[in-house]
A and B are shown apart, each in its own frame.
Chain A
């Protein structure tokens, strides 16, 4: 099983700031088979990024992903009020599919 570790667990940020989240895999995720999701309270997750760096349909350009192998980064270039949420990474390289524990982005 590939264990996905996200850091930090919580990030306190002011609107307009740049946000960088980390997702580390316990073994290499080939072909960058990694996705990022956003989840707000009481809502289903929303796909933001797949293939480590490809934005999903309708996702604003302020969201981006990068990385390869075991180290992946998710960036919000300028945090908007609607971006306060929990963010999860997910690998789809191996069974079982696994999610990271999430990073909560909260208002500073």
Chain B
């Protein structure tokens, strides 16, 4: 069974850093596109970042230069390192995976971890 479990969210002051984790089971993160999507309170879905074959990565312009996506294949875990956090980064962050050998739509999602950036 495919399962994604995020952790690492919390309350952080503007300018601070946070690292989110997404522990995967039932498949290997190295074999799939893996992505982060966020949802600000009461708002829609916003794609944040993706990692795929050969550790190629893409970022939304809103987080480029501040966030870093990575994965640890030995732990089967996806990460999102978030630096220089801003109040507008406040959101629930979901990790999600793409089915093997497919282009990036997302068939399994985690339950989300909440990040609040506030002083």
- Chain A residues proximal to chain B, CB less than 8 Å: 33, 35, 37, 39, 43-47, 50, 56-57, 86, 88, 90, 92, 95-102
Chain B nearest CB: distance from A97 CB in Å?
4
CA distance A92 to B44 in the complex (A): 17
Say yes or no: A96 contacts B58, CB within 8 Å. yes
Main secondary structure of the interface of A (DSSP, over half): loop
A-B contact count (CB 8 A): 59
- Chain B residues proximal to chain A, CB less than 8 Å: 35, 37, 44-47, 50, 58-61, 94, 96, 102-107, 109-112
Say yes or no: A97 contacts B44, CB within 8 Å. no
* Interchain CB contact (< 8 A) of B103 among A45, A47, A92, A102: A92
Say yes or no: A99 contacts B45, CB within 8 Å. yes
Say yes or no: A47 contacts B58, CB within 8 Å. no
Say yes or no: B58 contacts A95, CB within 8 Å. yes
CA distance A92 to B35 in the complex (A): 12
Chain B nearest CB: distance from A19 CB in Å?
19
Say yes or no: A97 contacts B111, CB within 8 Å. no
Say yes or no: B105 contacts A35, CB within 8 Å. yes
| Chain A residues, Cβ within 8 Å of B61 | 96
| Chain B residues, Cβ within 8 Å of A43 | 111
Given contacts A88-B44, A88-B45, contact A45 B105 (CB under 8 A): no
Say yes or no: A100 contacts B44, CB within 8 Å. yes
Closest A residue to B105 by CB, please name it: A35
* Interchain CB contact (< 8 A) of B94 among A45, A47, A88, A98: A45
Say yes or no: A47 contacts B106, CB within 8 Å. yes
